Amino acid sequence: MNRHKIRYEVLNSRKQDESGRYWEVDVQANPEELQTFAESGYLVRESLFQGDALQRLRDALDRLEENEWKNRDMAIAGKRGWGFIPRHLMDKDEVFLELLKFQPVLSIVRAMMGPLVRLRGLSARISYPGDDRCHQTPWHRHMRVVPNPLPPWFSRPHCIDGLIYLDDLNVDTGPVAVVPGSHNWLDREPPLDTYEPIEGELEVSVKAGGGVLIHGNLWHRALPTLSAKRRMLILSYTPTWLRKSPHGGPQPEDGLTKSFLEEADFEAQMLLGVGGYS
């Protein structure tokens, strides 16, 4: 894999010290891949996790599933749905907190959106096998705030979601379908409650431990989970000044990040939403 470095200087004359002003990012992608990402709205990364590292994530998510989803069997029986979506994972298990500075994804995020980014959330989605009406998602995007017509100084919302698959993503588990370039469509929305193919869609599959990085406004859907369980982590990044995600309810009061922040460095604090903006 080709890599390259980007050196940023954040032009903020109000800063009284050097913390957060200069950033050197060792980007784990080449410039051509970043250009493709910018144009298509998605980027496939293979083998982000392998061996023991992959199994630790699976085990941590399985523990969380066992502890939190008491009504799983009832929820997955006989109806189309999104499956189990636990939130605030970094507050619940140290294994997930270790992903705070995961450079294979974070370095690409900073190359695309600049150094001042925060981790808007780490959540998961587990879907379960069933008939073709069970556990799939309709066409959707993640940041639906674009006005029509566009005002002269409208600021486009940007978000990068790292979809990390802990199981093979294929026809059995349900691949993800995307419409390349749709993140740049500011004058239309995905069709409402639609699960069927649309013109221009592309199905993407990866091996367990791989991921798909997408712009938050890329049109995408998950195909049905037919015969094997599908576990996915979602690392969501935005600029530091965007509000925290409203999904998943309030952050746990006794979560792991609370004590972690007491001794965290500047970068970790910013990634967890403390600072990084004027």
Q: What is the pLDDT of residues 154-201, one digit of tens each?
A: 988 899 999 999 999 999 999 999 999 999 999 899 999 999 999 999
Domain ranges within the chain, ordered by starting residue: 24-144+157-271
The pLDDT score that the predictor gives to residue 77 is 43
Q: What contacts 112, CB < 8 A, 6 or more positions away?
A: 34, 37, 38, 160
Q: Which of 218, 211, 223 is nearest to 168 (CA)?
A: 211
Confidence (pLDDT) at 222: 95
Residue 15 has pLDDT above 90, yes or no: no
State the average pLDDT for the chain: 90
- 215 backbone dihedrals φ, ψ, rounded to 5°: -65, 140
DSSP 8-state code for residue 32 = H
Model pTM score: 0.92
Using the predicted structure, report yes or no on whether residue 202 has a pLDDT greater than 70: yes
Lowest average pLDDT, out of 110-114, 142-146, 271-275, goes to 142-146
Interval 82-111 mean pLDDT: 95
Whether the pLDDT of residue 42 is over 80: the answer is yes
Which of 86-95, 115-124, 162-171, 245-254 is predicted with the least confidence, judged by mean pLDDT?
Answer: 245-254
Give the other-Cβ count within 10 Å of 187's Cβ. Answer: 8
Mean pLDDT across the stretch 256-262? Answer: 93
DSSP string, 149-172: SPPTT------EEEEEESS--STT
pLDDT at 74: 44
Instruction: State how far the Cα of 248 lies from the Cα of 222, in Å rounded to an integer.
Output: 20
Checking if the pLDDT of 34 tops 50, the result is: yes
The pLDDT of 208-222, averaged and rounded, is 97
Q: pLDDT tier at 106 (50, 70, 90 boundaries)?
A: very high
Give 239's pLDDT tier (boundaries 50, 70, 90).
Answer: very high
Task: Write down the pLDDT at residue 17.
Answer: 59
> Up-side HSE of residue 101: CA atoms within 13 Å toward CB?
10
CB atoms within 10 A of CB 126: 24
pLDDT at 11: 86
pLDDT band at residue 134 using 50, 70 and 90 as cut-offs: low
Is the pLDDT reported for residue 233 higher than 60?
yes
pLDDT score recorded for residue 206? 97
Output the CATH code of domain 24-144+157-271: 2.60.120.620
Residue 230 contacts residue 81 (beta carbons within 8 Å): no
Q: What angle do CA 32, 212, 109 make, to 5 degrees?
A: 60
**244 compared with 87, residue with greater pLDDT:** 87
